[in-house]
Structures are given as C-alpha cells and as structure tokens.
Amino acid sequence: MLFVIKKAAVFSTIITIFYLLNAYSQYNENELGQNILKHFTFPQNDYDTTFNNPFPAENDSILSAYLEYVETRSESTYQDTLPRHTPNQLGYTNALENFLTYGDTGIANILILGLDQGGKNRKRSDVIILLNITKGGKILTLSIPRDTKIELPSHDDEELFDKINHMYSRKKEESVKQAISELLSCKIDFYVTISNFDDFKRLLSLIGGVDVDKHVEGNLGIQWVRNRSFVMGDLDRCKRQQVFLKKFLEKSWEITELSDGFFTNIFIKLGLSMVETDLSIDQVSNYINHLKQRDFNPKKDVFYGHLPGSYERLKSPLYKDQELVYWIPDRGKIENISRVFKSY
C-alpha cells in the first residue's frame, strides 16, 4: 500500500486520496488499517467530528507516506513561461462592498499571513489576508496591501506611522493582529502564518496544485503569487492573490467533499503541520462541518475584495524623513467593510 502511495506522485492528488480511502475501507483486513484504527474514533455521521488522540506519532505510516508524496511533488520545478494576466482578466471583482445586502453575520475572523525574508533576518508579512466565516455559510476574504499606512503611538505631537508589513518584525502575529483590529475595528480570532516559500509549495502540493490562468505548483506557484509586474504593482498582486486563494479553496473543498471524516482529519493534520497557527484540528473540523451543513459552494459563496484606498508618497519620521510610498486607507469606504468583519 505504501508503495502505491509513493508511486502516486505521478498522478493527481485525487487519485492519491482514493488510495488512502481504500486503506480506511479495508481497515479490518490489513495491519496498517488496524494500527490507524487504534488511534481514531470515527465520526458517526457527517457532522460528528469527535475523535480521541486523532493523530499518533509523526512517523505514523499513512501520514509519513503522504508527507513524502507531498514533499516530492513540492520540489517539482516547472520550466514554463508564466502568463501575466491582470486581475480583471482573471475575473477579479471587489464583492465585499456589496455583501451587506445579504444580511449575514460572521462567526470567526482568521488572519492569513505570508512571510518574506527581510534584511538582517527580519521577516515581513508581505501577504496579509483577513478571512471571515459567516453564520450563513459564506467565506469573505479581504486583502490588505503590504504598504498600508498604520498609525503608531507617539509621546509628542509628531505623527508616527509605518507600513503594515513591518509590524510582524515587532511582535510577530500579535502586532499584525493589533494593527488590523484597530484599522477595521474588529476582533481577530485566529492566525495562520506561512513562514517560508517551501511550506507554501508543500501546501500547494498537498492539494495537487491549482488552476488559475494555467496549472501552478512548486516554484511556479511561488512565482505566480509574488508577481507584481503590473501597472498597480502590489495592489494588482493582492487582487491576483485573491483569485488564487479562491481557486485554492475550491480545490481544497473538492477534496473534503470526496472524502469522509477520516480522510478530512488527515488532510487537516497535514495542512496544519505546514503552517504556524493557533487553530486546532477540532476547530478547523468544526468550521468545515459548519460550511457543509449550509451547502457551502466555493464557486459562488466566496466573496473577496481589497482594502480601499490610494497610494501617496509621504516622508516618514521613522526613516529619517525618507519619502516612501504608502497605501492610505479610505476611511469612508472602510466603514462598510468593517461592519462585515465585526458583525458577530
């Protein structure tokens, strides 16, 4: 069975999933299944996620085999020309401003950070997305440009400010959470941090890559999400990342729909092992079940947008009055978006 899973690197992730499910369905007939069975209390129905000691040691056979498959696939190098489609060409529309018409409210705000390595080993959060799960079974995602201007405490009359992507180097996730909470007047419940490019590639390979304007995975996936060679630079990159995230959610949801609670828990475990987060397996399972109970469809139930504002050049006292480009939030337009993310 392990041999089959390892060889599955040449096939799609879906094929691999079927092999794993087959191992589960035959747990009474093979030693691997018996070992797995010792560590699980399987769900009694679609929405019962109770389980005991859900995952054994890290060298558990089925997890190790699939992790090896993911590792091999994530190292694949795609030598291909990367198309440079604009957000509009990819179908981007800022739908968050109209979401209030649904009369829905949120149940959790999850901060998603993607880190870049800054100078002198100082990491910056160059990808900042706030994800909201609603009571009605929708997902809302808001991109916050990395150059967004953030006010800092000052002990005199001098205005102090910085870029939001510099906040991570202060007190990591807590600094970014505080900055966004103040900006949007909302509570941040959890965070998910992708701390390096290798982990991002592993996450992509976990679901078999995604199809945007082409199939992207491995190093090509890194190039795609980091590309900002567009008229609006980082803003266009934020919009493209929203399109990418929606495709990622669609693919992940397809995988969980094809499986039962057994494989979904394995899928969650592997995903959480590739990020830094304060979310537990139980919490992620509960959110997935919440969406399933409400017939969530990622093709129509994901609403994305970006923080409204405009670029300005300002002299920053923090950087010896050097003139830098900042994204200045539009306070009037932010008010509606803030109501969506703080409505629970």
- In angstroms, the CA 136 to CA 192 distance is 23
Q: Tens digits of per-residue pLDDT, 266-305?
A: 888 888 999 999 999 999 999 999 999 999 999 999 999 9
- In angstroms, the CA 265 to CA 147 distance is 37
In this predicted structure, what is the pLDDT of residue 315?
85
Q: What share of the chain is helix, strand, coil (3-state, %, to 5)?
A: 45, 20, 35
Comparison of pLDDT for 159 and 135, the residue scoring more: 135
Q: How many C-alpha atoms does 4 have within 13 Å on its Cβ side?
A: 11
Inter-CA distances, 17 with 11, 281, 305, Å: 11, 19, 32
Contacts of 319-324 spanning 24+ positions with Cβ under 8 A:
324/163
In this predicted structure, what is the pLDDT of residue 57?
40
* Predicted confidence (pLDDT) at residue 18 exceeds the cutoff of 70: no
In this predicted structure, what is the pLDDT of residue 175?
83
Q: Tens digits of per-residue pLDDT, 51-78?
A: 333 333 443 555 555 555 555 555 555 5
pLDDT averaged over the chain? Answer: 76
- In angstroms, the CA 126 to CA 113 distance is 7
Pairing type for strands 106-117 and 190-194 reads parallel
Comparison of pLDDT for 10 and 76, the residue scoring more: 76
Please choose, from the candidates 259, 304, 265, 302, the residue with its C-alpha nearest in 3D space to the C-alpha of residue 284.
Answer: 265
* Burial of 282 per CB tally in 10 Å (0-12, 13-18, 19+): middle
Q: Tens digits of per-residue pLDDT, 79-110?
A: 456 668 899 999 998 888 677 666 788 899 99
Residue 315 phi/psi, 5-degree rounding, is -85, 125
One-letter amino acid for residue 175 of the chain? S
In this predicted structure, what is the pLDDT of residue 37?
36
* Predicted confidence (pLDDT) at residue 138 exceeds the cutoff of 70: yes
In this predicted structure, what is the pLDDT of residue 297?
95
In this predicted structure, what is the pLDDT of residue 236?
93
In this predicted structure, what is the pLDDT of residue 96?
82
> Mean per-residue pLDDT for 314-322?
80
Most confident of 112-116, 216-220, 245-249, 319-323: 245-249
In this predicted structure, what is the pLDDT of residue 136?
92
**Residue 157 pLDDT class (50, 70, 90 cuts):** low
Comparison of pLDDT for 332 and 156, the residue scoring more: 332
* Burial of 124 per CB tally in 10 Å (0-12, 13-18, 19+): buried
Q: Report the CATH number of the 96-341 domain.
A: 3.40.630.190
In this predicted structure, what is the pLDDT of residue 62?
52
Please choose, from the candidates 302, 255, 314, the residue with its C-alpha nearest in 3D space to the C-alpha of residue 137.
Answer: 302
Lowest mean pLDDT among 26-30, 173-177, 309-313: 26-30
- The answer to whether 337 touches 140, Cβ cutoff 8 Å, is no
Q: 43 has which bridge partners? A: none
Angle at 37 between CA 31 and CA 43, to 5 degrees: 150
Please choose, from the candidates 199, 200, 191, 193, the residue with its C-alpha nearest in 3D space to the C-alpha of residue 226.
Answer: 200
Q: Tens digits of per-residue pLDDT, 228-268?
A: 888 888 899 999 999 999 999 999 998 887 666 677 888 88
- The answer to whether 271 touches 263, Cβ cutoff 8 Å, is no
> Mean per-residue pLDDT for 321-334?
87
* Burial of 60 per CB tally in 10 Å (0-12, 13-18, 19+): middle
Which residue ranges make up each domain of the chain?
96-341
